[in-house]
Amino acid sequence: MQRKKRAGILLPLSQLPSPYGIGTMGKAAFGFVDWLASAGMKIWQVLPLQPTGYGDSPYQSCSAGALNPYFIDLDLLEEEGLLEREEYADADWGADARRVDYAKLFSRRAAVLRRAYARLDKTARDWRDFCAKGEFYDFALYMACKEACGYKPYAEWGTLRDGDSSALRAFAAEHAEDIGFWQFTQYAFLKQWRALKGYANARGVEIMGDMPIYVAADSAEMWLHGKELFLLDGEGNPAAVAGVPPDAFSDSGQLWGNPVYDWEKMKADGYGWWRRRIARALELYDIVRIDHFRGFDRFYAIPADSADARVGTWEDGPKEALFQGLEGAKIVAEDLGTIDDGVRSLMRKTGYPGMKVMEFGFNGDPYSEHKPQNFPANCVAYTGTHDNSPLVGYIEGMDGNGRKVFDADLKGMCRALGVHRHGSDAKSACRAATEALFASAAETVVLPMHDVLCLGEEARINRPSLLSPLNWSYRLSAKDFRATQANRLRRLAEKYGR
């Protein structure tokens, strides 16, 4: 996929500074693109842009294709004449500027966006064309029904539960304005996103998006297309749910709870739903990272009534058949977790770069594939992902023996790659590890912004298998985007030909 070495930054949109409770596609996002360009960075990796769901996770979305209305910038809507500043500027979006308050966004954001929709010129050609295309109609219908049913899961929607066509037609006629509003959220998002992405591309920055492999059990896809897409029992409920067995993150495994796909049924039309989904993602982003790529080779199916993920079976996925004709696509395969010969074969056949995570390499094994001196060229390498501790927090949380192993490993990495470490504290170790990543053979390296800033555990994005208000909520301030950090990254990029 890559022709030359390059470097980038992982920063969720939600972490950008803004006075309105969460990062958006407004001024701070354009400013971050400028910061990336000044730092010589060629990639901005974001987390999924879908609406967040259970546990505020973007990996538990109510729609595979919808876009999160929280990221719509209110100031840009005001510039368009769709909002008055007093309608949103003084609202209580949360008391802590360092944390997203999802409850307040849920209770207040839609009301503000409805005011903007009320002022939209419904006769405008681009709006009418957008609605006629119908790409987001299922999501809009789902959200309108969910609102009308008190935000209960679709299984509790009475006559609307099974997607009965006559009941839905009657509902749609009665709630046309609500359906129009939810379509507007997608229209407004795409308009702002295309402006931001165009600006980034013009500054030499590509955007890497993130595609979750699964959707939530309470989702538009499950409601309207469950029988076509998922393994269901006789009552239309998931027969099995997704997750992973016990691993480095959890002794009891990770029980995600998403319905698993009926790959045999999807095979009948050449995996059309999936191929359309990938095509849309490649239009939205420059590069697409597909989460849990190993699930296309074999996936872990857990009985739907299980309390954790210790009991499950590995079942065959579509393997390379799904990706025929897409071998040259700009896709990154998240190939972490339980990796076997089947996954390795799938990676070879698609040719997609996999992922290497430096934190996994601090294990005393000189041959670990996650040590930067052992990285292959065809990979995307990270200090850590959104599921890892920030590197400084990881180091500070070690016991004495763990720190000895870490120091020996880091010393070996630096020696192998010609990197000099200055100092012995956690922050100096983080900076040395960053340079070792840049010095590796990996064609693409990506640093989470919290590792650029050498932040501790407070800045962690997610703790797998743990429901917590600390997940997905940490935010940065404008002062975090300093020229000194950009200059350091630019020097590293220049030194190592990135």
**What positions carry a catalytic annotation?**
291, 334, 387
Report DSSP state, residue 390: P
In the numeric block, the tokens 């979750």 are attached to 212
Burial of 83 (0-12, 13-18, 19+ CB in 10 A): buried
Measured CA to CA, the distance from residue 39 to residue 452 in angstroms comes to 11
Provide the strand spans (E) within 365-440: 379-382
- Asked if 79 and 242 touch (Cβ cutoff 8 Å), the reply is no
- Residue 431: left (phi > 0), alpha (psi -120 to 50), or beta? alpha
Measured CA to CA, the distance from residue 216 to residue 353 in angstroms comes to 27
SS3 string of 110-149?
HHHHHHHHHHCCCCCHHHHHHHHHCCCHHHHHHHHHHHHC
Measured CA to CA, the distance from residue 93 to residue 86 in angstroms comes to 14
- Per-residue b or e along 282-318, where b marks 16 or more CB atoms closer than 10 Å to that residue's CB: bebbbbbbbbbbbbbbbbbbbebebebbeebeeeebb
Q: Which helix (H) or strand (E) holds 104?
A: helix 102-119
Nearest Cα neighbor of 391 from 367, 363, 358, 437 is 358
User: What are 178's two structure tokens?
Assistant: 């609500």
Say how many residues make up the chain.
Answer: 498
Q: Which residues make Cβ contacts (< 8 Å) with residue 304, sequence separation at least 6?
A: 233, 237, 238, 239, 240, 241
Give the N- to C-terminal CA distance of the chain in Å, as an integer.
15
Measured CA to CA, the distance from residue 70 to residue 23 in angstroms comes to 8
